[in-house]
Structure 1
Amino acid sequence: MSKTWRKSSYSDGGTSGNCVEVANLGTSIGVRDSKNPSCGHLAVPRRDLVALTDHIKSGKLDL
């Protein structure tokens, strides 16, 4: 499967360098730092990433 990396719509556009890219890896999602793509990526099972984003959106992790 060919990986196409997309920058997160929540990345800040480069003002502070906080940029995340994601790619569909089949049953998992690749997550990497767009400033350092040669450093590799995390492969997160799709269902776990969905559960994490749902948890974040629910506000349960807000301070």
Structure 2
Amino acid sequence: MLKYIFIDSGKVINTYMVKKPPVIKAREKLKKYAAKEEFKNLVVQGWTITENLTKKRARAVNP
């Protein structure tokens, strides 16, 4: 059973024509209930769930 959720926050660095991976600035450890409340607050602010691209890339590399 899940007891804790880790939330990473950071900064996306984009320079002209070069996309670099995000830099993690902080990591929070929240209990499951607190994480659900945080998620609800983000949805109210307009955040949405994005598609997981890592699995698609893995399939494309290993067809």
TM (norm. structure 2) is 0.34
Higher relative contact order (CA 8 A, sep 6+): 2
Give the structure with the larger helix fraction: 2
Greater C-alpha radius of gyration: 2
Give the structure with the larger strand fraction: 2
